[in-house]
Amino acid sequence: MKKLLYAIAISATIFTGCSDDEEETPAKVPVEGEITGDITTNRTLTFGNYTLKGLVKVQPGVTLTIEAGSTFTADQADGEDGLVILNGGKLIANGTANDPIVFTAKTKIGGQWAGIIMYGDAPIVNSATAPAPQTAVSEDGQSITYGGSNATHNGGSLRYVRVEYAGLVFNNNTREHNGFSFYSVGSGTVLENLVAYKGNDDGFEFYGGTVSAKNLISYGNADDSFDWQDGWRGQENTNWFAYQTGIANYGMEIEAKGVNNTFFPKVTNITLKRAANTATESQNEKQFDAIQFKSQGNGDFSNIFIDGYASIEAGFGSAIQVRDLATYTNQIVGGKVKLLNVRLANTPVTFLSQNSGGAFTVNAASFGANFTTSTTATGAALITGRWANVDGVNLLANL
């Protein structure tokens, strides 16, 4: 009897020695699936590995929700793939730092698919004479009209989302895609901790609108890291990091369709870096400045670190380029461009004038008090995690 009671006591000790908190949680198994066609009713994609087939369009009034850690793979062999959120539709794609939502390509080469495209009806400006609200037609080959008066348009929430090997281009300016394309997206949309990796066109492009974006990485994209037009005016942008390597043009290409506007975007904490021996897309146009202003582009920028924009030959390569006389006169001298707390490294030429539309010389005096330098500017600050790692490459190693 004593032996039996002793065995029972030992058994009780074994079974009560581990609390519920100490039990291992079984690994979550991803589902396998395909996403294709129009999304016409609210849909949630559970954690899984999906094939992205065709231009998948989230229709107006519909919400597509994607669980953290999911992966979507495009294959150019089946045609033009991409995820499109039409005006009135919503994408809720909230990953985490260690469980990002990843969109990639079967063939890991830039230009394989169309990336993520979102449409809204926030304000744009592309004409100096047309009354508001103004509209335009998309340059992605879908010929979708964008623009409007809904400044708070809400296209959903994208957090910790990575787009790889996008930038499918058929024809420049008429049918081309970026990593992320935001057409008149409004301030109600959340864009945070996003990565555009090794696409064949721009990493991020804003076509007007009022949306802001925080904690962005544009890495190895073949055209511009960040690009905008149509009078984009997001006000709460911060922590932008561009690393240009292989082939690339501008770190930031800034324009406003030639409209002398009185509004502008605001971006704080910017790091623009260019690796040695990075080439430009075309040998006929060797421009690769860190920041380029043209067509009345403007903005308020601060805490900027620029590194590696050394001239490959006279007249090419600088920290800040102004392309045309109208932009110089109305935006730079007119006080609508602020570049505050700028630190340069390995960038011998600070200012470059292209003299389109008439001769001018841009320099620090052109900005008045709106250009200041700093020896301590830190640029972007971003957290580490799987969201910023691709195939063993730590995207923040050069930050």
Q: What is the mean pLDDT of residues 129-155?
A: 96
- pLDDT confidence tier of residue 22, bands split at 50, 70 and 90: low
- Neighbouring residues of 32: CB distance < 8 A, sequence distance ≥ 6: 48, 49, 50
Q: How confident is the model at residue 46 (pLDDT cuts 50, 70, 90)?
A: very high
**One-character DSSP codes across 148-176:** -S-TT---EEEEEEEEES---EEETTTEE
Tens of pLDDT, residues 259-272: 999 888 999 999 99
Residue 367 has pLDDT above 80, yes or no: yes
Average pLDDT over residues 117-145: 95
4-21 pLDDT, tens digit per residue, is 333 333 333 333 444 445
Q: Which of 141-145, 215-219, 251-255 has the lowest mean pLDDT?
A: 141-145
373 burial class (0-12, 13-18, 19+ CB within 10 angstroms)?
middle
Q: What pTM, to 2 d.p., does this model score?
A: 0.92
Contacts 24+ apart (CB under 8 A), 188-191: 188/152, 188/153, 188/154, 188/155, 189/118, 189/120, 189/153, 189/154, 189/155, 189/156, 189/157, 189/158, 190/156, 190/157, 190/158, 190/159, 191/158, 191/216
If we measure between CA atoms, which residue out of 304, 376, 299, 383 comes closest to residue 335?
Answer: 299
DSSP 19-72: -GGGSPPPPPPPEEEEEEEEE-S-EEE-SEEEEEEEEEEEPTT-EEEE-TT-EE
Helix (H) or strand (E) holding 266: strand 266-274
- Please give the mean pLDDT across all residues of the chain: 92
pLDDT tens for each residue of 169-217: 886 766 889 999 999 999 999 999 999 999 999 999 999 999 999 999 9
pLDDT tens readout for residues 57-76: 999 999 999 999 999 999 99
Q: Is the pLDDT of residue 282 over 80?
A: no
pLDDT 10s digits, 228-246: 999 999 999 999 999 999 9
Q: Greatest CA span in the chain, whole angstroms?
A: 106
pLDDT single digits (tens) 83-119: 999 999 999 999 999 999 999 999 999 999 999 999 9
